[in-house]
Every structure is written in C-alpha cells, then in structure tokens.
C-alpha cells in the first residue's frame, strides 16, 4: 500500500446519470489513501467515465481518453482507467484499440473501484472488470456531490425496459431497477442537510419508477414524500417518458410549490410511421392530446423535449411534418439528435438509412425553427417576476450575476443574466424580466416590497 495518498482525477462524460456514477466512484475512495484533484497533470490515477450512447458520444470518449493518456508521459499518471458505457459495450475491442489504458471497468463496477485499483497496481499488463449491468446505488452508498453545493442530481432508478429500436441503453444499463421510496427520501434528506436546496430527479425513464417493484412504489408516491422535506426548495423531473404522464402526476406538479412546473419528456418524432419504426408507443394523436392535457392541468408549464432527425426511412415529407410541429410552439426547449446507427439495435438493420449530409441539414433547420419559438416565448416573459437561483457570475463578464429560474434545468437550458441587484450564490431571489435572447432571460432583482406588490 502506498505511504502517501495517491492523487485521483476523474473526467465524467455524457449525461447527469453518468455524473452520479462518477460521484459514487469518488465516494468510495477513502481520504487517507486518495486525494481528488482537478488537474490531470497532477494525478497519479486518471479515470475517464465514458458515454457510448451515440457516435458523437463515443468519439468524444475516445478523444478524451487519448488526450489524458498523454499525462502518462508528460505528467505523473501511472494508472489510466476507463469506466462506464464504452467498455461495457465494447469490452473485447477496447483493449486492443486503446493499449494506453491500464484498466477497463463496466457500468456496475464503480463501487469496487478501490479493490480494482489495488489489483491493477500489482499487475504489469492491462485488464478489465466488466460484469452484468445490475448495480443500483442507494442512500447508504458513499457519494461525492460534484455539482454546486446548492444543487444535485438524484438517480431514482437504473436501466430501462422500453426497448426503443434505436437505443443501446438496455445493453449498457440492463432492465429497469427502481430504488425504494425510503432510500430516495433518505438520500434527499441527507443532501438537504448538507446544504442542497435544488434536487433534480433522474433516471432513464422516471415515469416508469416503481413498476418493477411489488411494494406499491410510484413516482407520485415518491414525490408526495419528498415535498415534505424541510429545506428543499426546488424539485425537478427529468427524462419523463410521455406514456407515463398520469393525471395524478400532473395534479401533483400543479399543486405542490416545491415541484417545478417543468417537464422533460422525449418525444423523438411526430410522424406515426417513424414512431412505429422507433417502437414508440404514443402516436401523433396521443401526443397532441397529452400536450393539451398537460397545458390545461399545469399552469405556466415549461416543456422540454428531444427529437431525432434522419431515422431510417424518414422522408422529406415526414421531416417537414416534424418541422411544422415544432413551429407550432408546443415547447419552450428542444434538443435535436441526428440519428446514430448503433450496431446491435433493431433500427440499425432497417433499410433506407438517411445520408449524413441530409441529417445535418435537417438538424440545423429544426434547431433554427425552435430558436424562433424560444425567442418568442422568452419575449412573452418580459415584465414578469421569476424566482431565480443565483449561481455566480456570468461566463462572459464578472460584472453580471447569473442564475436559473424554475424554467431552466442545470447544464441543458439557458440562464438568467442579472443587470441590477446583489445576492449570494445559492440565494433565491425575485427577478423582474426586462429583456431576453433566444435562450437566456435578462432581469433585475426586485426589492421585497416590489416583489410582494407584483405577486
């Protein structure tokens, strides 16, 4: 065993669900043996937690691995570990293609990180530890929150049983596995006791939460317990599949002040033939009814969705239908993916694969259409007062504070730029919106009397 603690640097790629996995790994590193450092050049051990969801993510993962591998020559790195989805998916190929890597570990091996490090330090050749993806962390699992002190992600379930035809998640993460309500509540209690005031609930499909359990657990039941936690200010729901949006859930969102009037529900397309090819269960008519019901039941709802362009067989007419649908203005936020042909998925075998140039063109057109919608929706907020969480100074200038409203999820949505007033990081303030851009809001902090008069 080393006399002096080893420096460990961890790079986490991909989604917030991956970030939680990385935080679990860091939580298992005892302080007397390991120091967590940000600078890779100072690290004795570098861990890259990878994403392999689509081609762009795989390329980013490989590029990052090759970049940090240079520290084995120019820095002090003696152990390079690649973790997560990429080795889980390509366990056979990676050892040959990336000889710079000393250890590959899968998506369910993070809690064994110390054992695996100790073993690898005794070996002179690369190795791998990749098992069945069946791990599910709970409130007793050590974890280091790497998000800002006031905010965190809490993963309420792992894996997915939806079997969308384009998706590799079940291969990488296994079938749906939900935590108990008591476990999630205990973790959030602990986070709030340590200063967290915003909790973002995540899973591959949070509306499926509890379906695999026989104890009556459900998302509404979980939310009813979480809103009781004193000190919790915002509770946000991410990755809510449309088929699982019940009236009970919508009524809870509308009624409970702590639950942000914000939903992220991936729709992927609007054309019925494309949706059928994707193995999505909600068709256009059902989608339109759902959107109408959501707007009716939840006042001032902010909706985020994602779409895929260039799915096999997508015609110009089918894309134009999607383009028109986005232009109708149903969504405050839209993310767009170019279809990625992933080996091992049913969609990869479909005929009529769409050319890369066509996918890129459609991606740009759809994003441009949504930018117009977002701009108009933001302009409509001018004059309103929004509750805003202060996050620090703007990335562009330290003369302006920045924050997020309930309408803005961390990392994926815009910000509120604050042109007047002072507050501390982690404060919640009332902000009068004075201007906007496509994705950001601009405003001035109200004094308490002004905010009270306008509320």
Maximum alpha-carbon separation in the chain: 70
Sheet holding 103-105, edge to edge: 34-36, 6-12, 45-50, 79-84, 103-105, 127-129
Chain position carrying tokens 């009236």: 247
Q: Is 416 annotated as a binding residue?
A: no
Q: Is 446 annotated as a binding residue?
A: no
CA distance 335 to 412: 9
CA distance 289 to 242: 11
> Which runs of E-coded beta strand occur in 68-134?
79-84, 103-105, 127-129
The sign of the dihedral angle between the CA atoms of 132, 94, 59, 23 is positive
Our CA angle for 299, 281, 296, nearest 5°, is 15
Relative orientation angle of helices 356-379 and 316-327, to the nearest 10 degrees: 10
Q: Which residues pair with 158 in a beta bridge?
A: 177
Q: Which residues pair with 263 in a beta bridge?
A: 237, 303
Three-state secondary structure call for residue 361: helix
- Which residues, other chains included, contact 405 with Cβ-Cβ below 8 Å and sequence gap of 6+? 386, 387, 388, 389, 416, 431, 441
**363 touches 420 (CB < 8 A):** no
Q: Which residues are annotated as a binding site?
A: 15, 51, 85, 160, 164, 167
Q: Which residues are annotated as a binding site for [4Fe-4S] cluster?
A: 15, 51, 85, 160, 164, 167
């Amino acid at each position: 065993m080393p006399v002096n603690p080893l420096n460990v640097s961890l790079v986490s790629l991909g989604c917030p669900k991956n970030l939680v996995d990385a935080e679990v790994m860091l939580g298992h590193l005892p302080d007397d043996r390991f120091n967590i450092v940000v600078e890779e050049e100072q690290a004795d051990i570098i861990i890259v937690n990878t994403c392999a969801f689509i081609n762009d993510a795989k390329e980013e993962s490989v590029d990052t691995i090759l970049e940090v591998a240079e520290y084995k020559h120019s820095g002090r790195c003696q152990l390079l570990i690649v973790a997560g989805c990429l080795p889980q998916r390509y366990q056979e190929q990676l050892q040959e293609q990336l000889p710079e890597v000393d250890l590959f570990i899968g998506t369910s091996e993070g809690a064994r990180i110390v054992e695996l490090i100790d073993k690898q330090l005794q070996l002179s050749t690369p190795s791998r530890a990749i098992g069945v993806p069946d791990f599910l962390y709970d409130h007793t699992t050590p974890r280091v929150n790497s998000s800002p002190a006031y905010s965190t992600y809490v993963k309420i379930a792992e894996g997915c049983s939806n079997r969308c035809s384009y998706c590799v998640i079940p291969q990488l993460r296994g079938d749906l596995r939900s935590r108990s309500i008591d476990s999630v509540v205990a973790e959030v209690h602990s986070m709030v006791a340590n200063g967290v005031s915003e909790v973002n609930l995540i899973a591959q499909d949070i509306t499926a939460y509890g379906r695999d359990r026989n104890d009556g657990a459900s998302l509404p039941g979980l939310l009813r317990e979480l809103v009781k936690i004193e000190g919790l200010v915002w509770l946000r729901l991410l990755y809510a599949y449309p088929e699982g949006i019940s009236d009970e859930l919508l009524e809870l969102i509308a009624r409970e002040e702590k639950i942000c009037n914000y939903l992220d529900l991936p729709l992927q397309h609007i054309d019925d033939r494309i949706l059928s090819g994707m193995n999505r269960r909600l068709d256009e008519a059902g989608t339109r009814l759902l959107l109408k019901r959501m707007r009716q039941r939840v006042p001032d709802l902010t909706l985020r969705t994602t779409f895929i362009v260039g799915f096999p067989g997508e015609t110009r007419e089918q894309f134009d239908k999607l383009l028109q649908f986005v232009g109708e203005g149903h969504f405050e936020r839209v993310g767009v993916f170019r279809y990625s042909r992933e080996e091992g998925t049913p969609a990869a075998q479909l005929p009529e694969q769409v050319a890369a140039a066509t996918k890129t063109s459609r991606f740009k057109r759809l994003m441009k259409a949504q930018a117009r919608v977002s701009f108009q929706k933001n302009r409509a907020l001018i004059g309103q007062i929004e509750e805003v969480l202060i996050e620090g100074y703007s990335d562009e200038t330290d003369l302006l504070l920045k924050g997020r409203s309930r309408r803005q999820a961390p990392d994926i949505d815009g910000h509120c730029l604050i042109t007047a007033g002072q507050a501390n990081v982690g404060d919640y303030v009332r902000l009068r919106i004075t201007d906007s851009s496509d994705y950001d809001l601009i405003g001035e902090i109200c004094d308490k009397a002004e905010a009270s008069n306008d509320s």
